[in-house]
Copies of this chain bind each other. A is one copy, B any other.
Amino acid sequence: MFDALPPRVRVYEVGPRDGLQNEAAVVPTEGKLRLIGALTAAGLPRIEITSFVNPRWIPPLADAEFVAQALRAEPAAVRARYTALVPNERGLDRALAAGLGEVAVFMSASETHNRRNINKSREETWPAFEPVFARCAEAGVAVRAYVSTAWGCPYEGAVAPEVVRDVAARLLAMGAYEISLGDTIGVGTPLQTRRLLDVLLAALPVERLAMHMHDTRGTALANCLVGLEAGITTFDASVGGLGGCPYAPGASGNLATEDLVYLLHGMGIETGIDLDRLVDAGLVARDLLDRDLPGRALAALAASRKH
């Protein structure tokens, strides 16, 4: 164990998108910009800033254009690499109009979750991706792809690793530069993670895979550790653990960025992130939502400042 730890890991921040879309409170545009600014100042290299989904479905992110355009006006020197979720071509139109240089698409590994999420079967989803990938290639816009429910589905239960592998392979073949494997409902445990990665890594290049773990049952970091050991070097996380679990109201969702960074730095793995300034960003998020956030390290490090 730990014979070949990576010297450096890339943390992909999803709080402003995956976090805020699952929070009941609607954060005003100015607050979102303050949060994204604090994350950028902490050294987060890549930040998913919003989602160009129909505002009817996700009202908290209805200001996607305003957020993207405000960030576009920043001097290049202070910008992180910004990206946004696009569910379809209509979303892509909006993202391109707002000047995004990178977008993210998503697909469920499980049929039922895909249907409930976007009202399409997986087979119907593929053709809809084609113009998205084609137009992104033409525009020089990078595409990241999420594979949701890779560890389990709220409707179907277990998901076969081979299905996850095939969905991921097809998305890579279509032109995605990176696949983020999502434990959407936070059910994964380490032996399962090992088995899933064994199947995926036999077919796909490890540097194209990222892990997006939810901490709903407290296992996110233990699963990331298995990923690290398997050579994964990109991990998604959400500042303060922003965002609940839509399938278990009151429970935690995203892995907290501070917890991930604390663990990585403690293992001597570089991230380029300043943990102290990341705590500042977490406190901005706590302020904006006016409640305690689930992140453990944020609570501990913020408390230790008072002493």
Contacts and interface: CB of A to CB of B under 8 A. Distances in A.
Interface of A: 1-2, 5, 186-192, 194, 215-219, 221-222, 224-226, 229, 245, 247-252, 256, 258-259, 262-263, 266-268, 292, 294-297, 299-304, 306-307
B229 A262 contact: no
Contact of A219 (B189, B221, B299, B307): B221
A222 B303 contact: no
B303 A189 contact: no
A296 B218 contact: yes
Contacts of A250: 292, 299, 302-303
Copies in the complex: 2
A219 B262 contact: yes
Nearest to A252: B296
A226 B216 CA distance: 21
B1 A300 contact: no
Contact of A267 (B191, B262, B292, B296): B191
A216 B296 contact: yes
A263 B193 CA distance: 12
A301 to B, nearest CB: 8
A190 B225 contact: yes
Contact of A217 (B194, B218, B245, B262): B262
A1 B229 contact: yes
- Please give me the 10 A-B residue pairs with the lowest Cβ-Cβ distance, nearest first: A189-B266, A218-B259, A218-B296, A248-B303, A251-B300, A191-B267, A217-B297, A251-B299, A221-B222, A248-B300
26 contacts: A1-B1, A5-B191, A186-B300, A189-B266, A190-B225, A192-B267, A217-B301, A218-B221, A218-B256, A218-B259, A218-B263, A218-B296, A222-B225, A222-B263, A225-B225, A245-B300, A245-B303, A247-B304, A248-B299, A248-B300, A248-B304, A249-B306, A250-B303, A251-B303, A252-B300, A294-B296
